[in-house]
Structure 1
Amino acid sequence: MITADERYYTSLRRNIMAIIITVALMPLLAMMAIAGYQFHTAYRHKVVDHLAALVDRHTMHIDSFLSEKLADISTLAAIKPLEKLQDPAEMEKILAMFQEKHRGVFVDLGLVDERGFQVAYAGPFRLTRAQYGDASWFQESIRQPFTVSDVFLGLRGLPHFIVAVRIESDGRLWVLRSTIDFVAFNRLVEDLRIGKTGQAFVVNAEGQFQTQPHARPGVDPQALLRIVRGETPKEIYSTAVEGLEIMGSSGNIYKMPTSPHGASWFEYTVPETQRRYLVFYQSLKGGRWYLFYLQELEDAFHDLYKARTLTLVVLALSALSVAVTAWALSRRVVQRIIQVDREKEMMNEQVIEAGKLASIGELAAGIAHEINNPVAIMVEEAGWIQDLLEDLERGDALDVEEVRRSLQQIRTQGARCKEITHKLLSFARRTDPTVQQVQLNKLIREVVALVEQRARYAGVTIRTHLTDGLPWVAMSPSEMQQVLLNLINNALDAMEKSGGTLDITTRYEDGRVIVDVADTGEGIPQAILQRIFDPFFTTKPVGKGTGLGLSICYGIIRKLGGDISVNSAVGVGTTFHIYLPPGDGVVETPPAGSQTLSKEDS
C-alpha cells in the first residue's frame, strides 16, 4: 500500500520534472517556431520567386522565338518581289536557306492568294493549289498584317501551326505563310523542367493544348484558365495559397497579384487525385496563348520539407534528452529532500527531547519538595527505631508494635517516592513517535498528576473538566504528553507570582476533539500574540526560557492533523485551544468524575 509520504514525493518528483521540462523546452520551442516560420516563409518566397523568374524568362524566350520567326517571314515579304515569291524554284531556295539558318524550324513556305488558293509552295508535302479559304488562320491573316495560328492538324494530318504575313500588291491581297516545326517548338517549351514533376505546356484561350506535356499531370487546362479568369467554383479550387487573395464568401476569387518578375502563380488541388500543384502562368501572343508551369508542392518544396523533418527529429531528440535529464535531476533532488526530511524529523525528535528535559528542569523544584516529605518521614522513623534498639541494649523491653509501625511507615513513604520517580522516569524516557489510539482524558490525568506538586508549590489550583465518552485520538502518547506539559508549565510560570487557577477542559464539537488549557495569569499582549509559536521567541527572562516550547507544541499538533490557537487578554489570562481529529471511532470508557487539585492538597 502506498503511503501518504510516498504519494507526496511522487507528486513532488512529477512537478519538478514538469517545471524543468517546461523551462527547458519552452524557449527551445519558441525559438524553433519563430526560426522555423521565418525560414519557411523565406524559403517559400525564394522558391516562388525563382520559379516565377524562370517562367518569365522562358515566356520571353518563347515570345522571342515566335517573334523571330514572324520577323523572318515579314522580312522575306518585304524584300522579295511578288514575282519571285510566285516562283516555286525561288521558294525552294528561300526555304533551304531558312532551314539551314534555323536548323529546320521552318517546315515549308507557301504563297496564298486572296481566295485561299496556294499558288506557290516549297516543302515536303504536296500542297500546291491547296485551298485554305475556310481555314481560320487564313481568315485571320486577311484581316490583320501578322498572324501566328493555333496548333491544328490541317490537310497534312499532323500537329503544326502557321506564321503568316499579309502582302498588298496592285490592289490584291496575298498571304505569305510558313509552317513551324511542332516538335522543335514543343521541345523549346519543355526545356522548362525542374525537379521530378516540373513541366511546362502551352494552351490557347479555349484551353486546348498547343504543346504536348511530357507527362499528363491529370490537370484540366480549362480548369486552370477558369482560375486565371476568376471563374472557378469554390469546390474546384484550393484556397490554401500564398500570393493569392482569399476567396470571398460568394465563391468568387479576387484578382491574383503578379510576382515582381511578371509571372503569376497559385496553388491548385486536383479534385480527383487530391494532388497539390504549384502553378505559374504567363500570357503569350498578346494573351491568346498561356504558358503554364506545374510542379507538385512536395517536389517544389522538397528541401523545405526535408529541413522541417530534420528539425522535428532534432526537437524530438532534444525533448527526449531534456526529459531524461529532468527525470534524473528530479529523482536526485527528491532523494535529497527525503534525506533532509529524515534529518529534520530526527532533529525535531531531538528538539522535543530537549524540550522535555527543559520541562523536567522546571518540575525539579516541585518534585524535590514532593520527595523530600516522605524521605524526611523515613529518616524520622529510622531514628525512632534506632532509639528503640538502644533502649533494648540497656535492658528495656522492645516495643515490637512500635517497630512494626515505623517499618510500615518507612515502606509506605518509600512506595510514595517510587511512584513519584516512576512518573518522572515515564515522562523523561525517549519520545516514541508511534501513532496509536489513545484515551485523551487518561493522558491528561497522568500529566496533571505529574505537575500537581509544582502547582501546590506555586499556589495554583488545577481543575479538570473532562467530558465522558470522548472518541479515542490517533496520536503519539509521549508527544501529546510533551504538548500538555509545555502548556501547563507555561501557565504555572504565568501564575507563580500571585497564584491562580488552571482549568483543563475536554469536549467533542463539530467532529473534533478539543482540549482547552486556560489560566488566570498575566496574559499576553496583542502585539506579540502572533509570534508566540515562532521558534526561539520567548517573553521569559534570559536563561529561563528557550523559546522552543510552543513551537514544539505547534509542530506536534500539526503533524497529528490538528490545529492549535490561543486567546489572551492582559490582566485576565490566556487560553490555548487544541483541535484534534478523532481516531477510529473508539469511545472512551466513562472515567470516574473530574478531580480538583489545589495548593492545599498534599
Structure 2
Amino acid sequence: MPDRHYYTSLHRSMVATVILVSLMPMALITLIGGYQYSAAYKAKVLAHLGEIVRKHEQNIDTYLLEKVAEIRVLADNMGVSCFREEDRLERLHRTLMERHGGDFVDLGLINEQGMQVAYSGPFRLGEANYADAEWFREVMKRKVYISDVFLGLRGVPHFIIAVQFFSEGRQWILRTTIDFVAFNRLVENIRIGQTGLAFIMNRNGDFQTTPRLDLNAEIPFLKHFLDKTKDEQGRPLQDGMVISRVAENPATGRETIYLTTPLKQGDWLLVYQQDTADAFSELVQTRNIALFVLLVGTIAITFMAVLLSRRMIKRIKASDKEKEMMNEQVIEAGRLASLGELAAGIAHEINNPVAIMVEEAGWIHDLLDEGLDKEGNTDETRRALTQIRTQGSRCREITHKLLSFARMIDPTVVEMQLNDMVEEIVGLSSQRARFANVQVETELADDLPTIAASPSEMQQVLLNLVNNAVDAMEKEGGTLTITTRRDRDDVLMTVADTGCGIPRANIQRLFDPFFTTKPVGKGTGLGLSIIYGIINKMKGEISVNSAVDMGTAFTVRIPSAASAQAEERRKKE
C-alpha cells in the first residue's frame, strides 16, 4: 500500500490541477476582458477630454475673434476724428464695457509714429510712446495683432488687441486691453476631477493664464510639447487639432495625461493636464472590483478543491486498502497453487522412503516369525529398524520444509539474504525438477547485500519463476540457472532456462493478469502479474529476454536494504 507521502503528493497534485483548470478560464476572461475594457475606457476618456479641450479652444478662439471683430467694426466705421475726441472715445469705451461685461479695459488711438494721441481707461497712459513696443511693430506688419500677456507700462498682466486702419490719409492703430481676469476665467473653467487643470502658454513657454497650481517646475518639461505641435515641415498645426499623450510628470512623479491644442493660429498653446489615477478613477474602481471577485473566486475554488480532493484521497485510500487485501489474497492463492504443484513432486519424494520403510517392516515381521534366537536375525532386525528410522527422518525433513513454506505468510518487510531464499526454493523444487529431467544450477555471489522484503513474497517470486522455467522444459528437459550478483546498490537475480522460449508478440503482454501461454487448466495467468506487483512494490524492476527454441531469462533488480532506507529518509525530509 502506498505510503503517506504518496497520498500527500497526490493530494497536492489534485488540488493544483483543480485550481489551475478552474482558475485558468476565469483568469483569462478577466485579463482579456479587463484589457479590452481598459483600452476602450481609456480611449473613451481621452476622446471625451479631447472634445472638452476642443470646445474650450473654440470658445477661446471665438472670444478673441469677437473682440477683434468689435475693434475692427469701430475702426472701419468710425472716423479718426471720433477717436481723437476723448469725450466720444470715452462714450465708445463705456458702451463696449456695458455691452461686453467689462472685457474691454481701455481703448486708445495711436498714430503711425507710435504715440498714443487719445486714451480712455483706468490708467494714466495719455501720450504714451509705443514705438519700441513689440506689439506696435507686429500690428504695423500684420494689420491685426493679438499680443501675448505682458506687464507693460501699467505693471499688471494684460494683453492687447490692436487694429490698423487708414483715415485722413494716414495710418492709425486702435488698441484695446482685454480684461485678463475674464480671459483667465475661460481657461479655469476647464476643470475635471480633482487634478484636472488647464492653462495657456506661448511659443516661448511663458504662461498666458495663471494656473491654479504652481507649475514652474514643469516648464522645461512642458516646452517639449511645443515642438510636438508642429508638422514634419516645422509649421504649426491648425487650430482645433488636439494632441494627447501620457507621460510622467517630473514635478509630481505621477503619470499624467496631457492634451494640447494650438490657439491664435499657433501662437499660443492650450494645455490640459490631469493625473491618470484621477482621470481613470472609475476604471481603477472597476479593476479593484474585478480583482476582488477574482480573489473571492480563487478562495472558493481553492476551498472546494481541497475539500473534494480530501474526499477523493479518502476513497483512493480505501480502494488501495481493498486492492492490497485482494492482492494479498491473490498472492496467497498463488502460493497455495505453487504449493499444490510442489505437492506432486514431494509426494514422489516421500513415497520412496515410505516404500523402503514398508519393505523393512515386512522383513522384520518375517524375521520375528522365524524367531530372533536364530542366528543373524537379531542383527538383521537392528539393521531394518535403523533403515526405518533413517527413512522416517528423511520424511520428517521433507514435511518440515513443506510446512515451513506453507506457514510463511507474514507480509512484514525485513532485511533478508536473497541467497538463502534461493537455496531454500531450489531444495523444495529439486524433486519436481528431477522428474522433469531439469538440471538446476546456481551461481550465487558472496558479496550480496541484504534486501528489504517480505520473505513470503520473495518465496512467491522465486517459486513462480522456477516453476515457469521447469514447465518450459518439461517436455525435453534442460538446464535451469539461477544467478545472483551485485550492481552498485542493487541486487540482481536472473532465472534462466533452456526451454521453448516466448514469442516476441507475447512478451508485451507477459505481465498482464490472466494472460498465459500454458494449455487450458495448466496455468491461471496470475503468476507473472503477481511477481510484477511484488517487485514494483519493492521499487524494483523485472525484465525478460527470450528467444523461441533457445530459452528465457527473467532478470529481477531489487534495491539493497541500505538504499531503500536512504530513499525512505529522503522522502520524509
TM range (shorter): 0.7 to 0.9
Q: Deviations over 1:20-62 (max 9, x none)?
A: 3332333333322222222222222111111111111111111
CA shift, 1:408, in A, is: 6.1
Once structures 1 and 2 are overlaid, which stretch shifts more, 30-39 or 134-143?
Answer: 134-143
Q: Give 1:351's match in structure 2, choosing from 330, 349, 363.
A: 330
Q: Give 1:363's match in structure 2, choosing from 342, 345, 369.
A: 342
Unaligned residue ranges in structure 2 (runs of 5+)? 564-573
Partner of 1:157: 155
Letter in 1 for 2:94: A
For residues 479 and 235 of structure 2, the distance between their equivalents in structure 1, rounded to whole angstroms, comes to: 97
Matches within 5 A, 1:69-88: 69-88=67-86
Task: Work out whether 1:560 is the aligned partner of 2:538.
Answer: yes
Partner of 1:286: 265
Once structures 1 and 2 are overlaid, which stretch shifts more, 291-300 or 494-503?
Answer: 494-503
Q: Confirm or deny: 8 A CA contact 2:79 2:167 kept in the other structure.
A: no
Partner of 1:454: 432
Task: Work out whether 1:147 is the aligned partner of 2:136.
Answer: no
What secondary structure sits across from 2:452 in the alignment? strand
For residues 258 and 531 of structure 1, the distance between their equivalents in structure 2, rounded to whole angstroms, comes to: 83
Q: Confirm or deny: 8 A CA contact 2:242 2:259 kept in the other structure.
A: yes
1:263–1:518 Cα change, 3 Å: closer
What secondary structure sits across from 2:516 in the alignment? coil
Partner of 2:276: 297
Partner of 1:55: 53
Letter in 2 for 1:481: Q
CA shift, 1:208, in A, is: 2.0
For residues 154 and 240 of structure 2, the distance between their equivalents in structure 1, rounded to whole angstroms, comes to: 40
CA shift, 1:443, in A, is: 1.9
Letter in 1 for 2:411: P
Q: Confirm or deny: 8 A CA contact 2:257 2:276 kept in the other structure.
A: yes
For residues 260 and 142 of structure 1, the distance between their equivalents in structure 2, rounded to whole angstroms, comes to: 24
For residues 183 and 432 of structure 1, the distance between their equivalents in structure 2, rounded to whole angstroms, comes to: 104
CA shift, 1:387, in A, is: 7.7
For residues 226 and 463 of structure 1, the distance between their equivalents in structure 2, rounded to whole angstroms, comes to: 97
Partner of 2:526: 548
1:48–1:426 Cα change, 3 Å: same
What secondary structure sits across from 1:155 in the alignment? helix
CA shift, 1:291, in A, is: 1.6
Partner of 1:525: 503
What secondary structure sits across from 1:450 in the alignment? helix
1:36–1:213 Cα change, 3 Å: same
Partner of 2:4: 6
Matches within 5 A, 1:218-257: 218-221=216-219, 223-229=221-227
Partner of 1:339: 318
CA shift, 1:192, in A, is: 1.0
CA shift, 1:386, in A, is: 7.3
Partner of 1:478: 456
Q: Confirm or deny: 8 A CA contact 1:49 1:259 kept in the other structure.
A: no
CA shift, 1:258, in A, is: 7.8
Q: Confirm or deny: 8 A CA contact 1:563 1:580 kept in the other structure.
A: yes
Once structures 1 and 2 are overlaid, which stretch shifts more, 531-540 or 510-519?
Answer: 510-519
Q: Confirm or deny: 8 A CA contact 2:482 2:496 kept in the other structure.
A: yes
Partner of 1:207: 205
Q: Confirm or deny: 8 A CA contact 1:349 1:431 kept in the other structure.
A: no
What secondary structure sits across from 2:274 in the alignment? strand
1:576–1:145 Cα change, 3 Å: closer
Partner of 1:138: 136
Q: Confirm or deny: 8 A CA contact 2:238 2:265 kept in the other structure.
A: no
For residues 187 and 484 of structure 2, the distance between their equivalents in structure 1, rounded to whole angstroms, comes to: 104
Q: Confirm or deny: 8 A CA contact 2:197 2:211 kept in the other structure.
A: yes
**TM-score using structure 1 length:** 0.82
For residues 13 and 66 of structure 1, the distance between their equivalents in structure 2, rounded to whole angstroms, comes to: 76
1:542–1:84 Cα change, 3 Å: same
Partner of 1:217: 215
1:358–1:98 Cα change, 3 Å: same
Partner of 1:539: 517
Once structures 1 and 2 are overlaid, which stretch shifts more, 295-304 or 178-187?
Answer: 295-304
Partner of 1:434: 412
Q: Give 1:314's match in structure 2, choosing from 275, 293, 299.
A: 293
Q: Deviations over 1:380-418 (max 9, x none)?
A: 6666777889999xxx9xx98888777666655544443
What secondary structure sits across from 1:543 in the alignment? coil
Letter in 1 for 2:147: S
Letter in 2 for 1:196: Q
Q: Deviations over 1:141-174 (max 9, x none)?
A: 3333322222233333322222222231221222
Q: Deviations over 1:443-499 (max 9, x none)?
A: 222222222332333343434444445433332222121122112222332333344
Q: Confirm or deny: 8 A CA contact 1:257 1:264 kept in the other structure.
A: no
Task: Work out whether 1:116 is the aligned partner of 2:114.
Answer: yes
For residues 353 and 345 of structure 1, the distance between their equivalents in structure 2, rounded to whole angstroms, comes to: 12
Q: Confirm or deny: 8 A CA contact 2:200 2:268 kept in the other structure.
A: yes
Letter in 2 for 1:100: E
Q: Confirm or deny: 8 A CA contact 1:106 1:180 kept in the other structure.
A: yes
Letter in 1 for 2:351: N
For residues 204 and 217 of structure 2, the distance between their equivalents in structure 1, rounded to whole angstroms, comes to: 15
Cα root mean square deviation, aligned: 3.6
Once structures 1 and 2 are overlaid, which stretch shifts more, 138-147 or 473-482?
Answer: 138-147
CA shift, 1:273, in A, is: 3.8
For residues 212 and 100 of structure 2, the distance between their equivalents in structure 1, rounded to whole angstroms, comes to: 24
For residues 282 and 468 of structure 1, the distance between their equivalents in structure 2, rounded to whole angstroms, comes to: 96
Partner of 1:488: 466
For residues 50 and 143 of structure 1, the distance between their equivalents in structure 2, rounded to whole angstroms, comes to: 39
CA shift, 1:63, in A, is: 0.9
Once structures 1 and 2 are overlaid, which stretch shifts more, 213-222 or 547-556?
Answer: 213-222
Q: Confirm or deny: 8 A CA contact 1:353 1:430 kept in the other structure.
A: no
For residues 568 and 94 of structure 1, the distance between their equivalents in structure 2, rounded to whole angstroms, comes to: 123
Letter in 1 for 2:80: L
Partner of 2:396: 418
Letter in 1 for 2:92: I
Q: Confirm or deny: 8 A CA contact 2:107 2:176 kept in the other structure.
A: yes
Partner of 1:589: none
For residues 394 and 419 of structure 2, the distance between their equivalents in structure 1, rounded to whole angstroms, comes to: 24
Q: Confirm or deny: 8 A CA contact 2:416 2:450 kept in the other structure.
A: yes
Q: Confirm or deny: 8 A CA contact 1:460 1:500 kept in the other structure.
A: yes
Aligned sequence identity (%): 54
For residues 138 and 307 of structure 2, the distance between their equivalents in structure 1, rounded to whole angstroms, comes to: 84
1:493–1:315 Cα change, 3 Å: same
CA shift, 1:294, in A, is: 1.8
Matches within 5 A, 1:167-186: 167-186=165-184
Q: Deviations over 1:338-359 (max 9, x none)?
A: 3333333222221111111111
**TM-score using structure 2 length:** 0.86
Letter in 2 for 1:46: K
What secondary structure sits across from 1:112 in the alignment? strand
Partner of 1:324: 303
